[in-house]
């Protein structure tokens, strides 16, 4: 660690420990919820932490859809909670009090694997239980978010929502020029001409394009099934562009435009229960304090380079709206 980083760390620790420790201990047991409060929340059992009367489960799909990162006492798992959501849906399938699911979507999409895994899990839920899944799009539900929404019986969107971006992207970053400027030399020994993607050529690009095309066809098929449209009609809309809520309704990509309160009222009426239960995540003590300290500590050049590479999704196949990043 450089002297600049050490100095920054000392200053950050002094500032935040003095001002933050008392509040951290005071709020250590506070539950962090993903969603706005909903009236008439059902009571929960201590054993299962689920309601003891009929209810609709609210599941947040927020942030970039990707594999879940484990938190610790000093770090919380923020944003999208993939494995937690999958486990929650499994629990709902065996809970007779559950009457349906409302997906609360606020996401630009994410990884192909996780998007498809959750879509399939929700399809399993519907097939196993015969219950309904509804979707509500808040700020955005693009690409992988729209993919997941295809499991829904009804799709509603806020009038200011952005959706669509039906397509696939795989991206990376060529840092060879920067490496050369910094005096960093890269080398590799490979077992084949296509093993090292850092030395990208036209043939390797064609290989990647083939993967993108195959995954794109899967997306088109999912939308075709979810919206009862022909694949040809879907492809006319699936060129990666985003749509406003009004445009999406006109093109049959959603069912209706409505505020969140309207959707919950309609769902109460149709499913016959006033109760909504939100999935919750506990925020570890010290996590907020140390996340703020981390923001102040200056990053080294190596850490900056690492962040740049991670922002480029490391060459993964993505159902992701790049323009909404």
- Backbone φ/ψ region at 118: left (φ over 0), alpha (ψ -120 to 50), beta: alpha
**Nearest CA to 60 among 124, 118, 143, 123?**
118
Provide the token pair at 141. 């539900």
* Size of the chain in residues: 325
DSSP-derived letter for residue 183 is: T
The single residue of 4, 72, 176, 195 carrying the catalytic annotation is: 195
- Is 197 marked active-site? no
The single residue of 138, 143, 151, 287 carrying the catalytic annotation is: 143
Residues 6+ apart with CB under 8 A from 264: 38, 102, 276
DSSP-derived letter for residue 193 is: T
Query: Is the distance from CB of 318 to CB of 168 less than 8 angstroms?
Result: yes
Calculate ∠ Cα 313-318-322, nearest 5°: 75
N- to C-terminal Cα distance for the chain?
A: 31
CA of 51: how far to CAs of 92, 270, 275, in Å?
A: 11, 19, 9
CA dist 125 and 49 (Å) reads 19
The upper half-sphere exposure of residue 42, i.e. CA atoms within 13 Å in the direction of its Cβ, equals 23
- Is 143 marked active-site? yes
For residue 47, the surrounding DSSP H or E stretch is: none
Please tell me whether residue 134 adopts helix, strand or coil conformation.
Answer: strand
Tell me whether strands 242-244 and 162-164 are parallel, antiparallel or unpaired: antiparallel
Tell me whether strands 169-170 and 317-320 are parallel, antiparallel or unpaired: antiparallel
CA dist 286 and 289 (Å) reads 5
| Residues with catalytic roles | 143, 195
């Amino acid at each position: 660690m450089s002297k600049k980083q050490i100095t920054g760390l000392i200053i950050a620790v002094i500032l935040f420990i003095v001002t933050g420790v008392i509040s951290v201990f005071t709020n250590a047991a506070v539950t962090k919820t993903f969603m706005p409060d909903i009236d008439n929340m059902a009571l929960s059992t201590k054993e299962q932490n689920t309601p003891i009367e009929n209810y609709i489960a609210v599941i947040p799909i927020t942030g970039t859809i990707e594999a879940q990162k484990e938190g610790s006492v000093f770090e919380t798992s923020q944003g999208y909670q993939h494995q937690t959501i999958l486990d929650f849906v499994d629990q709902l399938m065996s809970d007779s009090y559950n009457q349906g699911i409302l997906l609360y979507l606020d996401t630009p999409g994410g990884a192909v694997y996780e998007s498809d895994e959750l879509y399939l899990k929700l399809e399993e839920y519907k097939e196993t239980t015969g219950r309904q899944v509804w979707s509500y799009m808040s700020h955005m539900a693009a690409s992988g978010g729209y993919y997941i929404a295809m499991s829904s019986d009804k799709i509603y969107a806020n009038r200011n929502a952005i959706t669509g971006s039906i397509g696939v992207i795989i991206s990376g970053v060529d840092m060879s020029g920067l490496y050369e400027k910094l005096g960093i030399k890269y080398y590799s020994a490979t077992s084949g001409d296509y093993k090292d993607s850092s030395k990208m050529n036209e043939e390797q690009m064609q290989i990647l394009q083939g993967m993108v095309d195959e995954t794109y066809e899967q997306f088109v098929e999912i939308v075709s099934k979810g919206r009862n449209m022909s694949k040809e009609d879907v492809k006319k809309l699936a060129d990666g562009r985003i749509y406003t809520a009004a445009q999406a309704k006109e093109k049959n990509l959603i069912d209706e435009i409505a505020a969140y309160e309207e959707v919950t009222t309609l769902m109460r009426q149709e499913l016959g229960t006033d109760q909504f239960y939100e999935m919750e995540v506990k925020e570890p003590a010290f996590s907020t304090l140390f996340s703020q300290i981390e923001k102040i500590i200056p990053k080294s050049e190596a850490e900056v380079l690492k962040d740049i590479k991670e922002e480029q999704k490391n060459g993964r196949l993505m159902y992701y709206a790049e323009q909404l990043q």
